Amino acid sequence: MNTENQKKIAAEKATESIRSGMVVGLGTGSTVYYALLKLGAMVREGLDIVGIPTSAGTEKIAIAEQIPLATLATHPTLDLTIDGADEVDKDLNLIKGGGAALVREKIIANTSKKILIVVDESKVSRVLGTTFPLPVEIVRFGWEATQTEVNRICGESTLRLAPAQDGNQHPLITDNGNYILDCHFDGIPAPKEIELRLNNIPGVVENGIFVNRADKIIIGTSSGIRYMG
Ligand SMILES: O=C[C@H](O)[C@H](O)[C@H](O)COP(=O)(O)O
């Protein structure tokens, strides 16, 4: 089974946990995309849920799929969130934010009763921070000074760029109006400590380390579905 199919079976498996009446956190990314398509089909067949999207991109897909949406203002507690990840370890720690949605994803994760993470097998790692650079969202004001402080922890980081309308690469602006630094670690042996140290730097909004948040990781593999948690 190729990677795309691995993503699809994991994401669709996660939607089997969704029941009418639930408030559902809608994660971001190319894996969750398949869950959104499936949920859309389920809603059109009568499933009665509201979804809270973790990004403008997910909001757009959910609207196209006719999934009713809500906000944390009216629905402060979520029953279940389905989200992706960029790297996962055996302790269910995650690196997220490859799609620049980490701040909203962490806010939603924090208020969700249950979190299902959907990935393909390439995301599973022995030591977190060895296969994917850690995204750190920072405010634009004084960002160079913030980067200097971040680099004291990770050694080296790069400002994430994205193609703009003029055809050139410009700093990527998140849904929250901020920049992303991608931090190159050679493994993160103590993820919680690094999460807290990074978030203590003035100018850092949030980082993509998620510790003790996932309840289950659903992994699409070449031979079918595997679970962690
Ligand atoms: O910011 C984006 C999110 O954390 C995504 O869930 C993560 O990057 C995984 O995305 P994908 O399923 O596209 O690999």
- Give the pLDDT confidence of 21-60 residue by residue, as tens digits: 999 999 999 999 999 999 999 999 999 999 999 999 999 9
| Ligand 1 pocket, residue 100 CB under 6 Å | yes
Q: In this model, does residue 71 exceed pLDDT 90? A: yes
What percent of the chain lies above the pLDDT cut of 90? Answer: 97
Domain spanning 3-122+211-228: CATH 3.40.50.1360: yes
The answer to whether 106 and 195 have CB atoms below 8 angstroms apart is: no
Looking at ligand 1, which atom is closest to the CA of residue 33? 12
Q: How far is the centre of ligand 1, averaged over its atoms, from the C-alpha of 30 (Å)?
A: 7
Q: Which residue type occupies 139?
A: V
Rounded to 5 degrees, what are φ and ψ at 199?
-70, -10
Tell me if the pTM is above 0.95.
yes
12 annotated active-site: no
pLDDT band, very low/low/confident/very high, at 165 (cuts 50, 70, 90): confident
Domain boundaries 134-203, corresponding CATH code:
3.30.70.260
- Rounded to whole angstroms, the Cα distance separating 211 from 200 reads 16
| Strand 80-83 with 115-120, pairing | parallel
Block residue for tokens 């029941």? 19
Domain boundaries defined on the chain? 3-122+211-228, 134-203
Going through 176-215 in order, the beta strands assigned E by DSSP cover: 179-184, 204-207, 209-210
Q: Looking at the predicted complex, does its ipTM rise above 0.85?
A: yes
